[in-house]
Amino acid sequence: MQTQIVEFIRNLYQNEGIIALHEPRFAGNEKAYLNECIDSTFVSSVGKFVDRFETEFARTVGAKYAVATVNGTAALHIALLLGGVARGDEVITQPLTFIATANAISYCGADPVFLDVDRDTMGLSPDALKRFLEEHCTFEGGCCLNRTSGKIIRACVPMHTFGHPCRIDEIQALCNAWNIVLVEDAAESLGSYYKEKHTGTFGRLGAFSFNGNKIITSGGGGVIVTDDETLAKRAKHMTTTAKIPHPWEYAHDEVAYNYRLPNLNAALLCAQLEQLEGFLENKRDLAEAYRRFFAGLSIRFAAEPPHGRSNYWLNAIVLENLEQRDAFLEYTNANGVMTRPIWKLMNHLPMFENCRCGDLSNALFLSERVVNIPSSVRP
Ligand SMILES: *Cc1c(COP(=O)(O)O)cnc(C)c1O
């Protein structure tokens, strides 16, 4: 069976060499814009590409404002700070995510609380969230208080795993009812919709990433989106060292961050964004080919949920158990087809092992069985 899978993937990519998990594709105006940017000498934090990218990105996802950052982790960090997350708070998220989600919460001095995911979407489960809030929390002084820890649950950060939209409207309703700020980690879900609305635009703030392995890339990069003008202005201020605009003077009015996306990276990103529609179609065709192939082998392929549209950033299959998973990883990687296991659960990592958790049966089930398979856009 493994041989058959490797052959199928080689055939999909028409490639006898090493097949990457997800490589970027630069087939548009990348070089032209980069040259233009270099010639302009505006390669750093000021320039027309970074402004242009923000405008075009906001339009693409249907948000009012977008603020570009050096990476997705920085975007999440600032989004959480602007959501009011402070030292001593708790922030609910899922244990099945990339480390950046939990790190960003820690940067604010807050503790992550890990709740279970749904088996189909692999994103935060509104059922688990509801159960946790009802069993452990009270609404006091306009805040959600975790009775067990005595701490305030300030924010909730669901993540749209591999681009599959989680049940974000139910999560949003729970957050509204408990006055918990919803910050979406949409790092993986550019081009993914819940019903007709783009992921990342349900929360008060959303964060995207343009790391080298994401659906579009600026080498490193990220963006914060919001519909709130005050928050957007704060985001720009906080990511640009809180510098007060002035023709020649250096004046800063608070301790802030040097998180602005350089214009050079934005030049690359403007060219990438122009190709997004084509990438999405290309990836949808690939996912459909995988879906049909794995159905024939009776292996579960992670397809988009009925409530939304996935960007199919990373394709994933769910194997029978840990042993079968490891055998598959061994075989495919030894044979030049890059595959990777889904992340270890955050609460199994040393720095988060003492964090509060709900029942994590689904997350544990998936963490032992899910494998990502090659998902690059095909030429
Ligand atoms: C990629 C990613 C991020 C951000 O990563 P950066 O490398 O900092 O851009 C955040 N969360 C998730 C779930 C991601 O996959």
C-beta 92 within 6 A of ligand 1 = no
Place of tokens 């080498």: 219
pTM beyond cutoff 0.85: yes
Element (H, E) at 295: helix 276-296
Tell me the CA distances in angstroms from 292 to 289, 295, 299, 303, 311, one per residue in order.
Answer: 5, 5, 10, 11, 18
C-beta 313 within 6 A of ligand 1 = no
Which of the four pLDDT bands, split at 50, 70 and 90, describes residue 222?
Answer: very high
Q: Which of 70, 78, 185, 218 to mutate to test the pocket of ligand 1 (most atoms within 8 A of CB)?
A: 185
Give me the residue spans of the domains in the chain.
2-21+276-344+368-373, 30-274
pLDDT given for residue 374 in this prediction: 98
Query: 3-state DSSP call for residue 296?
Result: helix
Average pLDDT, the chain: 97
By the 10 Å C-beta count (0-12 exposed, 13-18 middle, 19+ buried), 254 is classed as exposed
Average pLDDT over residues 250-269: 98
Q: What is the CATH code of the structural domain delimited by 2-21+276-344+368-373?
A: 3.90.1150.10
> Alpha-carbon distance 9 to 20, whole Å?
11
User: What confidence tens digit (pLDDT) does each residue in 69-90 have?
Assistant: 999 999 999 999 999 999 999 9
341 backbone dihedrals φ, ψ, rounded to 5°:
-75, 155
User: What confidence tens digit (pLDDT) does each residue in 188-206 have?
Assistant: 999 999 999 999 999 999 9
C-beta 101 within 6 A of ligand 1 = yes
Around 208, how many Cα atoms within 13 Å sit in the side-chain half-sphere? Answer: 31
Check pLDDT > 90 for residue 1: no
User: What confidence tens digit (pLDDT) does each residue in 293-324 have?
Assistant: 999 999 999 999 999 999 999 999 999 999 99
Average pLDDT over residues 100-107: 98
> Alpha-carbon distance 268 to 34, whole Å?
6
> Alpha-carbon distance 92 to 153, whole Å?
7
> How far, in Å, is the centroid of ligand 1 from the Cα of 70?
11
pLDDT given for residue 311 in this prediction: 98
Q: Which residues of 297-309 are buried (b: 16+ CB within 10 A; e: fewer)?
A: eebbbbbbbebbb
> How far, in Å, is the centroid of ligand 1 from the Cα of 76?
9
Average pLDDT over residues 346-372: 98
**Strand pairing report for 90-93 and 151-157:** parallel
> Alpha-carbon distance 59 to 65, whole Å?
9
Q: What is the CATH code of the structural domain delimited by 30-274?
A: 3.40.640.10
C-beta 209 within 6 A of ligand 1 = yes
User: What confidence tens digit (pLDDT) does each residue in 272-295 have?
Assistant: 999 999 999 999 999 999 999 999
